[in-house]
Amino acid sequence: MTETAQNGRRRVVITGVGMVTPLGNDSETTWENLVSGKSGAGPITRFDASEYGVRFACELKDFDPTNWMDRKQARRMDRFAQMALSAARMAEADSGISIAEEPDRVGAAVATGIGGLKAFEDCLEVLIERGPDRTSPFSIIQIIPNMAAAWVSMELGTKGPLATETTACAASNMALGDGLDAIRLGRAEVMLCGGTEAPITRVGIAGFSAMRALSQRNDDPERGSRPFDADRDGFVMGEAGAMLVLEELEHARARGAKIYAELLGYGVSSDARHVTEPDPTGLSPARAMQMAFSDAGISPGQIGYVNAHGTSTPLGDPAETRVLKIALGEGNAYRTPVSSTKGATGHTLGAAGAVEAIFTIFAVQRGLLPPTINYETADPTCDLDYIPNEPRPQQTEIGVSNSFGFGGHNACVVFRRWDDAA
């Protein structure tokens, strides 16, 4: 008999995680560097950025995809797909799941905001300089956003539901929501869910810089991303791949899996307002949070930590502060610790939700709340407890993670610390 929550639904737990980020090429290294207050930012090495207005980003360091796939296969994939497959293999190994035993009951949902941007640039360059007949036959399958999910499915052998979310910076949280729904509805027992993004390219940096979305602190890259700080001037571009194994509770228990946390709830909404600017009222994103709380069966007063979207932009951070006050209620908002880990990782766009979901899970599991680094000057429009600069030892049962994307996409996920007696 399948164990259910009080509302009669199948319960979903996290049994494996994997990531490659600007702070490390695995989950533990990333976490240790995060809580040590390190920044992943530095001068761009992916291309010659000497003539660009923005010349720094949060790149992966020493990432070698051939640790997780053969060289021929890696050459057929854009970097965003390489990172997703690497993170998925880590998460699979961490979970101890045997996909081959029941491939039809295992699915995947892998998010990306952009897809194969470098592959697109390379294809266009060959087309212009050498003509259409010299275009690689692998160009399209490197570019299209669904290929990260496709590679994960093909290489790991999943034959259940397969999805790709491309809802900008909210995409990974929506992929987690896809996995949660698939398991609750009985369409799968296990879902590999997460996100990936490789936007540190000529077009990526030039395009976001032209929008004036990026920090200009070329002379001090490590202090460029400074969420909620009064002197913030934009986000720092980051790249990452992160995957989580979502599993129906009884299924996990039957195989003796270790359990990190329970995925309790998920909420989504849309601003229906502007292509880039957040909802100035905060009502639409707050509705996504409140929907997630309702789905999780919790009250705002039970929340012990919020991993904010917190991009370090002039408009976004005060807007999210308003959102938190609406969703939590002002009294709870001032009492609830909030941090943005993008101070350390930069903004990894479509991968951000998955990266930050793992951070939120580790925070509640380990009783250590990660800091908002580079917080130096208080902003009166951002007046909550942002866990400045140092991690905070604090036991908490419930953690929440927000992701908001261009176009008005809002998504929130809720995790509960796992108790074996639960």
Task: Please check the confidence at residue 1 and state whether its pLDDT lies above 50.
Answer: no
How many residues would you count in the chain?
Answer: 422
To the question of pTM greater than 0.85 for the whole model, the response is: yes
Query: So what's the pLDDT on residue 296?
Result: 98
Task: Please check the confidence at residue 5 and state whether its pLDDT lies above 70.
Answer: no
Q: Are 73 and 87 in contact (CB under 8 A)?
A: no
Q: Are 136 and 75 in contact (CB under 8 A)?
A: no
Band of residue 88 on the pLDDT scale cut at 50, 70, 90: very high
Residues 266-416: name the CATH superfamily.
Thiolase/Chalcone synthase (3.40.47.10)
Of residues 256, 193, 222, the one with CA closest to residue 37: 222
Give the contacts of 362 (CB within 8 A, at least 6 positions apart).
Answer: 27, 31, 260, 368
- Average pLDDT in the 299-320 region? 97
Beta-sheet pairing, 303-307 with 338-339: parallel
For residue range 161-203, list pLDDT tens digits in order: 999 999 999 999 999 999 999 999 999 999 999 999 999 999 9
Counting Cβ atoms within 10 Å, is residue 29 exposed (0-12), middle (13-18) or buried (19+)? middle
- The CA distance from 77 to 55, in Å, is 26
- Domain topology for 12-254: Peroxisomal Thiolase; Chain A, domain 1 (3.40.47)
Task: Please check the confidence at residue 4 and state whether its pLDDT lies above 70.
Answer: no
Q: Are 270 and 297 in contact (CB under 8 A)?
A: no
Amino acid at 358: I
Query: So what's the pLDDT on residue 113?
Result: 97
Query: So what's the pLDDT on residue 7?
Result: 64
368 pairs with which residues across the strands?
393
- The CA distance from 255 to 245, in Å, is 14
Query: So what's the pLDDT on residue 267?
Result: 98
Query: So what's the pLDDT on residue 420?
Result: 77
For residue range 337-366, list pLDDT tens digits in order: 999 999 999 999 999 999 999 999 999 999
For residue range 360-372, list pLDDT tens digits in order: 999 999 999 999 9
Q: What is the secondary structure of 199-253 as a DSSP string?
A: --SHHHHHHHHHTT-B---TT-GGGS--TT-TT---B-BB-EEEEEEEEEHHHHH
For residue range 232-266, list pLDDT tens digits in order: 999 999 999 999 999 999 999 999 999 999 999 99
Residue whose tokens read 């994997």: 18
Task: Please check the confidence at residue 421 and state whether its pLDDT lies above 70.
Answer: no
Of residues 297, 326, 314, 335, the one with CA closest to residue 402: 326
Task: Please check the confidence at residue 280 and state whether its pLDDT lies above 90.
Answer: no
Alpha helices (H) in 7-53, listed in sequence order: 27-35
- The CA distance from 282 to 323, in Å, is 5
Q: How far is it between the farthest Cα atoms of the chain?
A: 64
Beta-sheet pairing, 303-307 with 398-405: parallel
- Average pLDDT in the 290-300 region? 98
**171-to-109, 321, 334, 406, 407 alpha-carbon distances in Å:** 10, 21, 28, 10, 12
For residue range 96-109, list pLDDT tens digits in order: 999 999 999 999 99
- Average pLDDT in the 297-316 region? 97
**Where in the sequence numbering do the catalytic residues fall?**
169, 309, 347
Give the contacts of 32 (CB within 8 A, at least 6 positions apart).
Answer: 24
CA 356 centroid distance within chain? 5
Counting Cβ atoms within 10 Å, is residue 52 exposed (0-12), middle (13-18) or buried (19+)? middle
Give the per-residue SS3 of 131-168. Answer: CHHHCCCCHHHHHCCCHHHHHHHHHHCCCCCEECCCCH
Task: Please check the confidence at residue 2 and state whether its pLDDT lies above 70.
Answer: no
Query: So what's the pLDDT on residue 6?
Result: 52
Domain boundaries, the chain: 12-254, 266-416
Task: Please check the confidence at residue 94 and state whether its pLDDT lies above 90.
Answer: yes
Of residues 176, 252, 192, the one with CA closest to residue 415: 176
- The CA distance from 400 to 371, in Å, is 15
191 pairs with which residues across the strands?
107, 246
Q: Which of 7-11, 136-140, 201-205 comes out lowest in average pLDDT?
A: 7-11
At 318, give phi and psi (nearest 5°): -65, -30
* Domain 12-254 and domain 266-416 have a common topology: yes
Band of residue 279 on the pLDDT scale cut at 50, 70, 90: confident
